[in-house]
Every structure is written in structure tokens, then in C-alpha cells.
Homo-oligomer: A and B are copies of this chain.
Amino acid sequence: MAKEKQQLKYGDAIEEIEKILKQIENEELDVDDLTSKVKRVSELLSLCKKKLRTTEEEVENILKDIEAE
């Protein structure tokens, strides 16, 4: 997961989330797999959130520099 965090693109993560949500919605998933899939979505959401937070911080830092100019 640590590695994935680095490698998985935000956009791909969102795509995966959407795919799983669609599967749940269309009842394409076995109840047995549901837990793991929900867990996966949860992880991806968490990853995305983290990415958003990190990005925001980085961007804010860069922008602070611009504004200072």
C-alpha cells in the first residue's frame, strides 16, 4: 500500500472507486467479496484524501512564494 500510494494515480484511484461502486450498485459482487471491495474503496478514498491534502499543502507552499514576490 505504501508503494501503491506512490504509484497509483489519483485519477486511476477514482476510476477504480467508480468501478467498484458500480459493481455494488449493479449487485455484481458476491456478498463474500463485498467487505474486501468496500475496504478497497475505503482505502482508495483515504489515499485520495491524503493526496488532496498533500497537494494542497505543496501548492500552498509554492503559492506562498509567488505571493511573496
Contacts and interface: CB of A to CB of B under 8 A. Distances in A.
Interface of A: 9-11, 30-32, 34-35, 38-39, 41-42, 45-46, 48-49, 51-52, 54-55, 58-59, 62-63, 65-66, 69
Contacts of A9: 30, 32
Given A9-B30, A65-B42, A35 B55 contact: yes
Interface centre among A30, A51, A58 (most CB of B within 10 A): A30
Q: Interface majority SS on A: helix, strand, loop or mixed?
A: helix
A67 to B, nearest CB: 10
B51 A69 contact: no
Contacts of A63: 38, 42
